Amino acid sequence: MALTGLEIYKRLPKENCKECGVATCLAFAMKVAAGQAGLNDCPRLSEEARAALGEASAPPQRLVKIGPDSSLIEVGQETVMFRHDDRFQHPTAVALTMSDAGDEAALRKACRAFKELRFTRVGQTLQADMIALANESGSQDKMLAAVKTIHGEVPVPMVLSSESIDCLAAAASGPLAGTRPVVWCTGNPPAEKLAELGTKTDAVLCIAGDLQSVADRVEAVMAKGARNILISPGPVPGPRALEFLTQARRAALNKKFRPLGFPALTIACGQDKNAAALDACAYVCKYSAVVISDAWEPYLLLAILTARQNIYTDPQKPVQVEPRLYELGEVTPESPLLVTTNFSLSYYSVESEVEASRVPCRILAVDTEGTSVLTAWAADKFNAETITAALKGSGVADKVRHRQLVIPGHVAVLAALIAEESGWKVLVGPKEASGIGAFLKNDWKIS
Ligand code: SF4
């Protein structure tokens, strides 16, 4: 039975020292009760109180650490079912598949491809996080050799799957010792052996099956001392996986059902690559902590990473860039000046089109609290006054010889007002960023 905030508060030091990052012990107790903080965050808690509160105050979903310190991934400790209630905390880790059945040259080639699969979107670099290696050869020696090769080439966190628990133990205590690999034994070993692997190494155990069998097995391995666990529906069709993910999350968060209070791992692989990538996107949204995917084609992987990027932002804080003057290319006093908002997607849409045009430009990102052009205009945050204030505050007048600026075509209605307020000549640019290149070449001229 989970403890209430007041029950936890009674055992806290009540010193209100703020070392836990929270203003008071009472507020901290409420956060612990809600699963948003752990007792370890209070450095002043006595061992006696820690033991008394123990498991009962653990978050409804545990935090699990995967991978070496240099590329550590944290998953779990989610607190809400719905993103509009609060943000999702720890982004889904995407693991790309490899097999130990091929030769070393094939593995090295796959590692090179893994490193090259990087994308830039709204100013962030997107890439897969892990490698999922399957023991398809059935040979322990081949598995260990593959692990060594991959770990030497790309020291990212790994998921290992094998029918043989001995093979997994050899990898986790050998080449991957100290790197917290996820180990998934498909051979259904006894719970004692699985727990032994989890307690003698720092491996994270993946326990797969239907909800009931997973809950029973988690209880069994926890009784033997294992704590680092991922739960999984296994290789099942998309709808069944989503059912598992949703029911497990509900049981953990709403019912505080401890055996299912662990982050989940799903598999989105198959002959139909498009369907598998769609499954992966759905698992990212609801509620997978690790997705094993065979989306090696850039257009498929980018779709999954984009879904993750969108889902794991804070819905109450629009993604925004710093509101200021940006200079792209070798600008001169004659270079065009474009105005947009500081909503990331708006800014980066303009920036990428300017870069593609190869025309050096200045872009003035006006502070609209991260809202897009039309939203900001409707909310009266992108108007003649705010744009004029941004012009003056940016110091752009000292950098350009002209007094001309280009506004987005969607707010053409503001042109006369901005001209009157600022004294600058206002050119109405294209409605969509895709028209910027042609506009710069054909319509921009200093008059
Ligand atoms: Fe209270 Fe501990 Fe937080 Fe200090 S660190 S405010 S004692 S809960």
pLDDT of the residue at 5:
87
365 vs 320: CA distance, rounded Å:
10
Q: Encode pLDDT of 329-351 as tens digits.
A: 999 999 999 999 999 989 999 99
HEC secondary structure over 24-54: CHHHHHHHHHCCCCCHHHCCCCCHHHHHHHH
Q: How far is the CA of 57 from the centre of ligand 1 (A)?
A: 15
Of 134, 122, 133, 83, nearest to 306 (Cα)? 122
CB of residue 38 inside a 6 A radius of ligand 1: no
Residues 425-442 have a mean pLDDT of 96
Q: Where in the chain is the domain with CATH 3.20.20.20?
A: 63-311
Q: Encode pLDDT of 119-161 as tens digits.
A: 998 888 999 999 999 999 999 999 999 999 999 999 999 999 9
Dihedrals φ, ψ of 375, to 5°? -65, -45
Q: How far is the CA of 25 from the centre of ligand 1 (A)?
A: 5
Instruction: Say which residue, 298 or 4, is predicted with more confidence.
Output: 298
Asked whether residue 305 carries a pLDDT value surpassing 60, the answer given is yes
Residues 219-239 have a mean pLDDT of 95
CB of residue 329 inside a 6 A radius of ligand 1: no
Query: What CATH architecture is 325-442?
Result: 3-Layer(aba) Sandwich (3.40)
Tokens of 19: 């070392």
> What is 63-311's CATH number?
3.20.20.20
Tokens of 183: 């180990």
Q: Edge-to-edge, what's the strand order for the sheet holding 93-99?
A: 229-232, 204-208, 182-185, 158-162, 130-134, 93-99, 290-293, 265-268
CB of residue 194 inside a 6 A radius of ligand 1: no
Residues 175-200 have a mean pLDDT of 95
Asked whether residue 1 carries a pLDDT value surpassing 60, the answer given is no
Atom of ligand 1 nearest to the CA of 41: 5
* Amino acid in position 203: A
In which residue are the tokens 């982004």 written? 91
CB of residue 25 inside a 6 A radius of ligand 1: yes
Q: Is 350 exposed, middle or buried (0-12, 13-18, 19+ CB in 10 A)?
A: buried
Strands 73-76 and 63-66 come out as antiparallel
β-bridge partners, 201? none
* pLDDT tier for residue 56 given thresholds of 50, 70 and 90: low
Q: How far is the CA of 20 from the centre of ligand 1 (A)?
A: 6
Residues 77-87 have a mean pLDDT of 89
| Ligand 1 mutation pick, 28, 40, 41, 57, max ligand atoms within 8 A of CB | 28
Q: Encode pLDDT of 392-421 as tens digits.
A: 999 999 999 999 999 999 999 999 999 999
72 vs 419: CA distance, rounded Å:
52
Asked whether residue 57 carries a pLDDT value surpassing 80, the answer given is no
Of 301, 286, 206, nearest to 238 (Cα)? 286
CB of residue 19 inside a 6 A radius of ligand 1: yes
| Ligand 1 mutation pick, 8, 11, 14, 19, max ligand atoms within 8 A of CB | 19
Q: How far is the CA of 45 from the centre of ligand 1 (A)?
A: 8
| Ligand 1 mutation pick, 10, 14, 17, max ligand atoms within 8 A of CB | 17
349 vs 433: CA distance, rounded Å:
6
Q: How far is the CA of 30 from the centre of ligand 1 (A)?
A: 12
Asked whether residue 354 carries a pLDDT value surpassing 70, the answer given is yes
* pLDDT tier for residue 3 given thresholds of 50, 70 and 90: confident
pLDDT of the residue at 2:
64
CB of residue 9 inside a 6 A radius of ligand 1: no
pLDDT of the residue at 328:
96
Residues 157-180 have a mean pLDDT of 97
Of 312, 315, 354, 337, nearest to 394 (Cα)? 337
CATH classification for the domain delimited by 5-57, as one of 3.30.360.10, 3.20.20.70, 1.10.10.10, 1.10.15.40: 1.10.15.40
Q: Where in the chain is the domain with CATH 1.10.15.40?
A: 5-57
* Amino acid in position 436: I
CB of residue 22 inside a 6 A radius of ligand 1: yes
Query: Whose C-alpha lies nearest to ligand 1, atom 8?
Result: 25
DSSP element (H, E) containing 427? strand 425-428
| Ligand 1 mutation pick, 30, 44, 45, 46, max ligand atoms within 8 A of CB | 44
pLDDT exceeding 90 applies to what percent of the chain?
Answer: 85
Q: Where in the chain is the domain with CATH 3.40.50.11600?
A: 325-442
pTM, two decimals, is: 0.78
CB of residue 20 inside a 6 A radius of ligand 1: yes
What count of residues does the chain have? Answer: 447
**Average pLDDT in the chain:** 94
Atom of ligand 1 nearest to the CA of 23: 6
pLDDT of the residue at 55:
65
- CA angle at 80 for the pair 79 and 86, rounded to the nearest 5°: 100
pLDDT exceeding 70 applies to what percent of the chain?
Answer: 99
Q: Edge-to-edge, what's the strand order for the sheet holding 425-428?
A: 325-328, 361-366, 337-341, 404-407, 425-428
Asked whether residue 275 carries a pLDDT value surpassing 70, the answer given is yes
Residues 300-315 have a mean pLDDT of 94
| Ligand 1 mutation pick, 6, 18, 32, max ligand atoms within 8 A of CB | 18
pLDDT of the residue at 179:
96
Residues 377-387 have a mean pLDDT of 97
Asked whether residue 47 carries a pLDDT value surpassing 90, the answer given is no
CB of residue 177 inside a 6 A radius of ligand 1: no
Residue pair 12/49 in contact (Cβ under 8 Å)? The answer is yes
222 contact partners, CB below 8 Å, separation of at least 6: 195, 229, 259
117 vs 335: CA distance, rounded Å:
35
